[in-house]
Amino acid sequence: MNSVKRNIAALLLLTLVPCLVAASAADLRKLYGPIVKKVSGKYSIDPELVHVVIRAESNYEVFAISSAGAMGLMQLMPATALRYGVKNVFDPAQNIEGGVRYLKDLVKLYDGIVKKVSGKYSIDPELVHVVIRAESNYEVFAISSAGAMGLMQLMPATALRYGVKNVFDPAQNIEGGVRYLKDLVKLYDGKTKLVLAAYNAGQEAVRKYKGIPPYPETKSYIAGIMRNYKKPTVTTLNPTYMVKDADGKTILVNDPEAVRKK
Does the pLDDT value for residue 19 go beyond 70? no
Contact 73, 99 (CB under 8 A): yes
Length of the chain: 262
Task: Write out the catalytic residue numbers.
Answer: 135
Q: What is the pLDDT of residue 248?
A: 67
Does the pLDDT value for residue 258 go beyond 80? no
Confidence band for 182, pLDDT divided at 50, 70 and 90: very high
| 95-100, long-range: CB < 8 A, 24+ apart | 95/62, 95/71, 96/32, 96/35, 96/36, 96/39, 96/50, 96/54, 97/39, 97/42, 98/74, 99/50, 99/53, 99/54, 99/73, 99/74, 99/75, 100/39, 100/40, 100/42, 100/43, 100/45, 100/50, 100/74
Instruction: Please give the CATH number for the structural domain made up of 28-111.
Output: 1.10.530.10
Domain extents in the chain: 28-111
Residue type, 18: P
| Average pLDDT of the residues in 181-202 | 96
Which of 4-18, 38-52, 199-213, 238-252 comes out lowest in average pLDDT?
Answer: 4-18
User: DSSP string of the chain?
Assistant: -HHHHHHHHHHHHHHHHHHHHHHHHHHHHHHHHHHHHHHHHHHT--HHHHHHHHHHHTTT-TT-B-TT--BTTTTB-HHHHHHTT-S-TTSHHHHHHHHHHHHHHHHHHHHHHHHHHHHHHT--HHHHHHHHHHHTTT-TT-B-TT--BTTTTB-HHHHHHTT-S-TTSHHHHHHHHHHHHHHHHHHTTTBHHHHHHHHHH-HHHHHHHTSS---HHHHHHHHHHHHH---SB-PPPPP-EEEE-TTS-EEEES-HHHHHH-
Does the pLDDT value for residue 49 go beyond 60? yes
- Residue pLDDT, tens place only, 77-97: 999 999 999 999 999 999 999
Does the pLDDT value for residue 30 go beyond 50? yes
- Residue pLDDT, tens place only, 126-150: 999 999 988 998 889 999 999 999 9
Which of 40-44, 148-152, 234-238 comes out lowest in average pLDDT?
Answer: 234-238
| Average pLDDT of the residues in 195-223 | 96
| Average pLDDT of the residues in 52-59 | 86
pTM as predicted? 0.68
Q: What is the pLDDT of residue 245?
A: 62
- Residue pLDDT, tens place only, 158-180: 999 999 999 999 999 999 999 99
